[in-house]
Amino acid sequence: SQTIHQWPATLVQPVGSPLSLECTVEGTSNPNLYWYRQAAGRGLQLLFYSVGIGQISSEVPQNLSASRPQDRQFILSSKKLLLSDSGFYLCAWAGDEETQYFGPGTRLLVL
């Protein structure tokens, strides 16, 4: 069966520090991968999606970037965090059936 992992589960970072969040998927090949951000009590904002290795589409211009170095690995990065980057970050994958399967999320607090 397929599983999706995200780490870390929580992260507290100072403003201006770098960020690296990792997402890996097991049990499937060539998935579509997604990064979302969710503000407290709000819906999800699609940040990036990827249909293959090295292929990244950005939905919202910002100081975040994403990379897909391997088929089942998706990384969200920033060189310098802003206060507004705080939120709940969710990784998801989708296969042919178009349903998205979400990871447990990373709660990021930028101070």
Rule CB under 8 A: which residues touch another protein? 32, 34, 36, 41-46, 49, 51, 57, 88, 90, 92, 94, 97-105, 107
| CA-closest candidate to residue 11, choices 24, 3, 22 | 22
Residue 79 CB, shortest distance to another protein, in Å, is 27
Residue 32 CB, shortest distance to another protein, in Å, is 5
Residue 37 CB, shortest distance to another protein, in Å, is 11
| CA-closest candidate to residue 108, choices 24, 15, 46 | 15
- Cα-atom radius of gyration of the chain, to the nearest Å? 13
